[in-house]
Structure 1
Amino acid sequence: MEKDICKFIEAIKERIIYYRRDFHKYPEVGWTEFRTASKIARRLTELGFDVKLGRDVLKEEDRMGLPSEEELDFHYKRALEQGADKEFIKPLKGGFTGVVGTMDLGDGPVLALRFDIDALKIRENNGENHAPSRLGFLSVNNDIMHACGHDCHAAIGLGVAEVLSNFKEKLDGYGTVKLIFQPAEEGVRGAKAMVGAGILDDVDYVIGGHIGLVAQAGTLVCGVNGFMATTKFDVSFKGLAAHAGGNPNKGKNTMLAACTSVLNLHSIPRHGKGASRINVGTLVSGTDRNIIPDSSIMKVETRGETTEVNDYLRNYAVRIIENASKMHDVDYEIKYMGESICAASSHELINRVKNIGSNLKCFDNIINVFTTSGGSEDFNFMMDKVQKNGGQGVYFAIGTDIKGGHHNSLFDINEEDMLKAVKLFSVLCVDILNNHDKN
């Protein structure tokens, strides 16, 4: 069946490229992927999947870093103007932009394949040397673009859906496949809410991947490990304004509390069980030179090589902020904006990816495991959930010729490499369904 699958994927190449270019032209940032998610839901339905979306696949209280209601409403209306599916967009309103398509093929293992779909707040380069500009699929949404390949991931996911739909009769009786289209991966905001909704509770295998990332063109990295646990949070300090010359003693200076926090946050002792990071990326305070600042906003992130290390940093940071506020007699509020934990790919699945990647003969270089450092990936929530339930998980990387680098205004990929990803996901999926008992 492997040869038939690869032949079919080559036959639908232009459709997969069309999906990618359409998503690229109409990018949407986390929790506002109304057009993207509605289009995906429509296509999955057409292909025979049982589709759940919105509140059915997202636990409301676990969503983090949501835009304001005004922003959500603006993006919802814009999505409709840009061709969103009018039926499937309705359950997404309010930022519930997750989609899960399920194909029940009978008794057997339950597989989940995850594809992230959100874009970034970056203005895309419109130069003639940039292929999306030259070929007519440049972002039409100001200061938003797909600069990390999630447009490709969404297209790859639909490509896999096409394969499963086409070969459904040959797979009947082998198990269940869930295609998870996740919102808000950027800022690690979306996966926890999907896990919280229970969509991974019955899953035996969960598979995720990324185009580019740590893999050069022609390379397959069978397991990417080392993503750091992280917590991202905003701190708002509230005090009392006063005349800086006449009555400074009557003021409650939030800038002092914020600055005391910053200096001490960057003085937290390192942890003996692994690497750690902490950063205050933004500090905004005060209005003018002769006014005691009555409000300050600070954006902070912690990262740890393990979840334990990150928890240590986060808890230490919260104590510092609390006591700095007490020191200067101001109030504070912490709002959590994103989170992820540590997890590692299962050795059995890494080996399975390696064997299938070798058999496909479309990779020049196959690397067993690559351990990254510094970045974070909320797919770890899904992998951790499945592994704790006795299942397996893997996160791999498909190499491509990247233009401009990730999170860059010139980001682009070689679209041929999306076909390699569709082949790998599809054949891996079929292999697990057919050989579950042999694993």
Structure 2
Amino acid sequence: MELDRPQVRQAARRCPALLIAAPASGQGKTTVVAAMARMFARAGRRVRVFKGGPDFLDPQIHTLASDAPVYNLDLGMCGEADARWRLSEAAAEADVVIVEGVMGLFDGQPSSADIAERFGIPVMAVIDASAMAQTFGAVAHGLASYRLGLPFSGVLANRVGSPGHAAMLREAVPADMRWYGAITRDAEAALPERHLGLLQAAEIPDLLARLDRFADALEQTGAGVLPEPVAFAAAQKPFVPRLLTGRRIAIARDAAYGFLYPANLDTLRDLGAELVFFSPIAGEALPDVDAVWLPGGYPELHGARLAARDDLWQELRAFIDRGHPVLAECGGMMSLFDTIVDKQGQVHRFAGVLPGRALLQPRFVALGTEWVDLPEGTVSGHTYHHSRTETDMPPLLCARRADGRQGEAVYRRGRLTASYLHLYFPSNPEAVAALFSA
């Protein structure tokens, strides 16, 4: 896959920045990023956090920690031009820019290392040191030297057992590498998880207290002293025509339907749409609108409550039958089938708009960036789900993956578009406007 070509460099915008990466998933990157954002924010500094990759859950944590919207940086799904102008805008208004990497530093094509190298952002590696001693230094050395030209800054030890353990780790780090410090294991403050990752921020009632506890620990490490400011090339936000002026779009948003990119909401507003949020699990009716968006989430975890929403599903079926546009993504699409079978084998009756059922699986079924050539235009997106569908309904078409293989099915019924694919609206605002148009 060819990345976007760099734009012509203009006057740079300088801002301290750090990309926080790790040798693998599960090392504690999200906790460290949130703690750092919280540490700076409560000290009165303006913090802008970005999440590498197409994640929905970590940005919710970082939004609370930084008190600012968190956007995704992904050179595949979002593209380099999108990342460039967002970083430029952040650098112009913030005191600190923090980027959380995805998976291991060099994992994926493109990877977190590609983001760091492309924009000159220093890398701080977080390494889970709970089960290692001097090998910590070897891992740090390998991350720093694996790719020539990578702006590697230093390393932070996470889940350290004692001051003596921390001293041993520091001694093992190469002399020319910055030691950002060590954070002791704190199981009581750890962020809870489920099958798709961390719990949603709203589901952790004491989240801010947990983040404060980690921020307190981080303040003792010296990690708050950032490298020299990064020069981000000035770049303008792309023009978006107001093709949805006067149109009202209802968006499901609650614990069952919470996978929403802030960039997607911004794009709809830039297109001129009025956004109306409603909660299916709270019993709210379908608003009086021109179009509906059912995003992804966890409908299977709220099966009993959603199965009792006959009123909502009847309204939605009638809405679709009248020819109104509806976009249903992942969990939103699952909700439109006749039933959902959860991990315990419990069958929940849902909307009955699409024939068939969705069945939760023990592990993930699909993962990756895809592009879909809709009749309205090509849009990029991402898929990650732990369910599969059984339906006799033929798809309108299938998305395509970066390697050319067939991707997710896309179903159409009237003006309903349904798929496991989470679309990234800024990749083609005009196509998105057509999806939600009359």
TM-score normalised by the chain length of structure 1:
0.23
State the structure with bigger RCO (CA 8 A, min sep 6), 1 or 2: 1
In proportion to residue count, which structure has more strand? 2
TM-score normalised by the chain length of structure 2:
0.23
